[in-house]
Amino acid sequence: MSDPNWQPRIVAFFCNWCTYTAADLAGVSRIKYASNACVIRLMCSGRVDPQFILDALAKGADGVLIGGCHPGDCHYGEGNYKTMRRFQMLRRLLRDMGIEDQRVRLEWISASEGERVKTVINDMVEQVRALGPLNLPQHRAEWDGEMTSSTEPAGQPAEQEAAHA
């Protein structure tokens, strides 16, 4: 790795009722964890627009964490189910872009799971640290280059390309 002082940057979208409260609880319980994640509070994980995730990665985040209530526990009934579905679609897109699964995570953390906030964030920070910086802005420039030179039809999944190679 070129920069020894590099620290992963993670943007976290936490729902107000479960995960944000769990992070508050972690604080009240003085549970210590890595400082690499900054939390943006939303009322429900259902509010997480896939654009937020792409935007965060495009602006230099090395990972994005979405935290919501456990299935069945959503304050609004089933906002988290919608997040889950949306997330699965987004994941495919991210894979196509060559972004590793570990960089974008969806986790269910209930209001009482302060300890889990620590585990999830620490775990994610370590995984992203192992992957290294994402440098998406730089990658985008590269892709643009490929697109012009390549004769492959656009939108071919990355995995398939690898399999045929």
Partner 1 sequence: MNTQNKNGEVRIGFYICHCGMNIAGVVDCPSVAQYIAKLPGVVVSRDYKYMCSDPGQELIRQDIREHKLNRVVVASCSPSLHEHTFRNAVESGGLNPFYFQMVNIREHDSWVHTDRAQATAKARALARAAISRVRFHRALETTRAPINPDVLVVGGGISGIHAATTMANAGKKVFLVEREPSIGGQMAKFDKTFPTLDCAACILTPKMSAVRSHKNITLWTYSEVVKVEGYVGNYTVTVKRKPRYVNEDLCVGCLECIQACVFKEPKFADEFNMGLSKRKPIYIPFTQAVPPVVVIDPERCLQVRTGKCKKTCLEACADRQAIDFTQKEELVEIKVGNIIIATGFKLFDAKRIPQYGYGLYPNVITAIELERFVTSSGPTGGEIVMRDGHHPKSVGFILCVGSRDMKTNRWCSRTCCMHSMKLAQLVREHTDADVTVFYMDIRAPGKGYEEFYDKSLKEGIQFVRGRVAEVTDWAMAPEEEGKLVIRVEDTLAGFVRRVPVDMIVLATGMEPQADSQEVRRLFNMSCGSEGWFLEKHPKLAPVSTFTDGVFIAGCCQGPKDIPDSIAQAGAAAAEAMALIDKGYIEQEPNTAYIVEADCSGCKSCIPLCPYTAISLDDATQKAKINEALCKGCGTCVAACPSGSIRQNLFEDEEIFSEIEGVLSYV
Please state, in angstroms and rounded to a whole number, the distance separating the CA atoms of residues 160 and 96: 10
Which of 6, 27, 89, 157 contacts partner 1 by CB under 8 A?
27
Q: What angle do CA 42, 119, 26 make, to 5 degrees?
A: 60
Return the structure tokens found at 97. 């872009």
Return the structure tokens found at 120. 């999830």
43 binds partner 1 (CB under 8 A): yes
Site string for partner 1, 68-87 (x = CB under 8 A): ----xx-xxxxx--x---x-
Side-by-side strand order, sheet with 10-15: 37-42, 10-15, 63-68, 104-108
Residue reference for tokens 């390549």: 150
Which of 33, 94, 106, 107 contacts partner 1 by CB under 8 A?
33
The DSSP bridge partners found for residue 106 are 66
Please state, in angstroms and rounded to a whole number, the distance separating the CA atoms of residues 134 and 142: 13
140 binds partner 1 (CB under 8 A): no
131 binds partner 1 (CB under 8 A): no
Which of 1, 3, 5, 35 contacts partner 1 by CB under 8 A?
35
Binding residues for partner 1 (CB under 8 A): 7, 9, 11, 17-18, 21, 23-24, 26-28, 30-33, 35, 38-44, 46-52, 55-56, 59-61, 72-73, 75-79, 82, 86, 110-113, 118
